[in-house]
Amino acid sequence: MLADLLHPERVRIGVTLGDKDAALRAIAALLTMPEGAINEEVVHDVLEERERLASTGIGSGVAIPHGRYDGVEELRAAVAICPAGVDFDAVDRLPVRILVGIVGPKSMPQKHLAALAGVSRVLRSEEKRNALLRAVDEADAYTVLTESR
Which pLDDT tens digit goes with each residue over 29-60? 999 998 877 899 999 999 999 999 999 999 99
Pick the CATH number of 2-146 from 3.40.50.200, 3.30.1330.10, 3.40.930.10, 2.60.120.260: 3.40.930.10
Q: b/e string for 13-42 if b means 16 or more Cβ within 10 A?
A: bebebeebeebbbbbbbbbbbeeeebeeeb
> Does 107 score more than 80 pLDDT?
yes
pLDDT at 3: 83
pLDDT at 149: 56
pLDDT at 148: 66
> Does 96 score more than 90 pLDDT?
yes
Is the pTM higher than 0.75? The answer reads yes
Instruction: Tell me how far apart the alpha carbons of residues 130 and 97 are, in angstroms, rounded to a whole number.
Output: 10
Q: What is the mean pLDDT of residues 66-84?
A: 93
pLDDT at 37: 73
> Does 68 score more than 70 pLDDT?
yes
Instruction: Tell me how far apart the alpha carbons of residues 144 and 105 are, in angstroms, rounded to a whole number.
Output: 27
Residue type at 40? E
Q: What is the mean pLDDT of residues 16-31?
A: 96
pLDDT at 17: 94
pLDDT at 71: 85
